[in-house]
């Protein structure tokens, strides 16, 4: 049974990822930063519903010491991390000239530094020694195309794509696969403030005339991290309903 660490695991897409991997028979470590109570509830549900081991572990992925301590906890409970899903992320809409230095640092800190910190720790502790492992990074379609009023977000997510491709080339001979998913517009709590007209306009932008669900992302993630995808690495999968083609 594989052990999976999912960062940002208590959010909309994150919780769906946790459920998807638990359904596939994996033990799940649920990383969270602020919503520890929600992560604890999710861990209990996963254990009771799917018969896997699950635990919630709190850490700000921007902070390397916190990440190291998180891995210590996982190591002492589940053991080695076989699959790392770098899902933790934040978003913000702002005109470029209104972005503050702190906005920029926060955005890159969570969305990029977090990927670096967790990935390097997983590689050093487990994957390189075991000569196996899977890393999956969650980027965004805006990392592929750029989004007006989301320059800092787009820049961070584009960097995740570059990191994915370069790292896949570096660790492939060590039996480690690295891939990336770029979600499109997904129905999460972040969209509750959108009115019906805006939702319909977003649907119309997609070739399938529909929005995604967190489960759509989770299903793709479980596949990419499974043995069925053993010949896939360094790839960027757009799960966006044809919003970006």
Catalytic residues: 153
Task: Show the CA angle centred on residue 22, arms to residues 178 and 183, nearest 5°.
Answer: 45
CA atoms within 13 A on the CB side of 31: 29
């Amino acid at each position: 049974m594989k052990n999976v660490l999912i960062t940002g695991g208590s959010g909309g897409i994150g919780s769906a990822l946790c459920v998807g991997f638990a359904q596939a028979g994996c033990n799940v470590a649920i990383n969270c930063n602020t919503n520890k109570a929600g992560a604890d509830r999710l861990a209990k549900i996963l254990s009771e519903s799917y018969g896997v081991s699950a635990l919630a572990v709190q850490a700000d992925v921007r902070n390397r010491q916190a990440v190291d301590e998180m891995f210590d906890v996982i190591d002492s409970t589940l053991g080695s991390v076989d699959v790392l899903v770098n899902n933790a992320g934040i978003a913000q809409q702002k005109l470029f000239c209104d972005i503050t230095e702190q906005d920029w640092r926060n955005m890159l800190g969570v969305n990029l530094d977090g990927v670096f910190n967790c990935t390097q720790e997983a590689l050093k502790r487990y994957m390189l020694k075991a000569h196996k492992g899977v890393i999956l990074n969650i980027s965004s379609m805006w990392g592929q195309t750029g989004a007006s009023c989301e320059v800092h977000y787009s820049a961070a997510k584009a960097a995740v794509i570059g990191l994915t491709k370069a790292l896949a080339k570096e660790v492939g001979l060590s039996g480690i696969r690295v891939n990336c998913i770029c979600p499109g517009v997904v129905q999460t709590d972040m969209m509750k403030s959108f009115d019906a007209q805006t939702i319909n306009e977003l649907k119309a932008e997609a070739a399938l005339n529909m929005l995604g669900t967190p489960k759509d992302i989770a299903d793709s993630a479980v596949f990419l991290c499974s043995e069925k995808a053993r010949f896939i690495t360094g790839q960027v999968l757009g799960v966006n309903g044809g919003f970006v083609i």
